[in-house]
Chains A and B, each alone.
Chain A
Amino acid sequence: SELTQDPAVSVALGQTVRITCQGDSLRNYYASWYQQKPGQAPLLVIDGKNNRPSGIPDRFSGSSSGNTASLTITGAQAEDEADYYCNSRDSSGNRLVFLFGPGTRVTV
């Protein structure tokens, strides 16, 4: 199983952008989303129930339907320019794996 993402998207300052993630595992497991800026560790921005960790602006939101999860940035800011990765677990029998999408580079 794997997760797929668009390689790159661009958004004008203050506009809205949606990043999608597709995969069979998303039919059974929630996706979480991570932001990564150059030279920094990944940062959790949204979990599968659309909860944001403390300090993450409310312009970040998540949703899911079927085999697709989405991260939306409403009113994108310059500091939102980063790579965004989706992640979910997948399992069959005794096997458990964690999947990352290839990442989407967001340009503001």
Chain B
Amino acid sequence: QVQLVESGGGVVQPGKSLRLSCATSGFIFSHFGMHWVRQAPGKGLEWVAFILYDGTKEYYADSVKGRFTISRDTSKNTLYLQMSSLRAEDTAVYYCARELLGPSRMDVWGQGTTVTVSS
């Protein structure tokens, strides 16, 4: 079955970097755009980044632009989020989600990985 499994979360100091991974299975990874969405403690969902199915285009929320980089490795069926210059406000559960078109929606989500930015 279609599955997304995030990993790489943890506790990190402000200003440091962290890389999240999202291992996918059960579908042809190279056919789908992919998202990262986060949720701060007790808050709502916030879209973070999106990458096209072929990796040719990336889009970011203003809150992370210039600090975060989304990427994908088709040979490993894995999505990544490289996070740098981390701030306390980046503390959240980070979810990866698959994009389905016609119309656009996020039809499959991972279980999330928790990132805590604290000194």
Interface residues of A (CB under 8 A from B): 29-30, 32, 34, 36, 41-44, 47-49, 53, 83, 85, 87-89, 95-103
Contact = CB atoms under 8 A, between A and B. Distances in A.
Interface stretch (B7-15, B80-88, B104-112): B104-112
Contact of A42 (B50, B59, B100, B109): B109
A87 B105 contact: yes
Nearest to A49: B103
Contacts of A101: 44
A-B residue pairs, 7 tightest by C-beta:
A32-B105, A30-B103, A48-B103, A98-B47, A41-B109, A100-B45, A103-B44
A63 to B, nearest CB: 14
B45 A44 contact: no
B105 A44 contact: yes
A98 B95 contact: no
A32 B106 contact: yes
Nearest to A36: B45
A85 B46 CA distance: 10
A96 B59 contact: yes
Contacts, number: 66
A41 B47 contact: no
5 contacts: A41-B111, A44-B108, A48-B105, A99-B47, A101-B44
Given A98-B35, A100-B37, 4 more contacts: A29-B103, A47-B100, A97-B61, A103-B44
A99 B63 CA distance: 13
Nearest to A99: B47
Contact of B45 (A34, A47, A53, A88): A34
A41 B110 contact: yes
A48 B106 CA distance: 11
B103 A32 contact: yes
